[in-house]
Amino acid sequence: MRLMPTVRKFSAMTLHRDILKKKKTVYLIIAPKPVRYNFGRSRIAYIGTTRKGADRVAPSAAFRAQEVFERRGFRELDVHLVSCKGKAGKAAWWKVLEGALLACFFKEYMQLPLCNKKGPRRFTRAMLKFFRKDRIEKIVRQFDGG
């Protein structure tokens, strides 16, 4: 008996050229439908950071996917990159950006995203002062679930 390989109708991963432009970046793992949090719903399942660009984003998304896919009705994830120009004197700006996004998310939903495990000690609202507050809030609210 011979095995019959088949090609899936969906792509398992799509990468865009932009992922290679910046190594140090923050990424959001987005669920296709909203996750219920204490004070609302959001499609954001994880907020993470990387110094290695695509080399880190792909394995992280695969690792986090298992936790999201265990929930009923979740069958796919999207990964969005968030980046900005660095600031003089702030070597680890991407970590501060991650902290600002986490602080904003926590302020909005009073809970960390589904797959984030590090507690509130890791980020502070003071991290928001390095970025335009309205822009950080817009990024978090962009994925509201209604």
Domain range annotation of the chain: 20-141
Tokens for 24, please give them.
């140090």
Angstrom distance (rounded) from CA 57 to CA 32: 18
Tokens for 122, please give them.
């890791």
Tokens for 58, please give them.
């792909």
pLDDT digit of tens for each residue in the chain (146 aa)? 787 687 777 777 777 776 667 777 888 998 888 999 989 999 999 998 887 776 778 888 888 888 888 888 888 888 888 887 766 666 678 888 888 899 899 989 999 998 898 765 666 667 777 788 889 899 999 988 75
pTM of the predicted model as reported, rounded to 2 decimal places:
0.82
CA–CA distance from 89 to each of 79, 86, 130 (Å)? 29, 9, 12
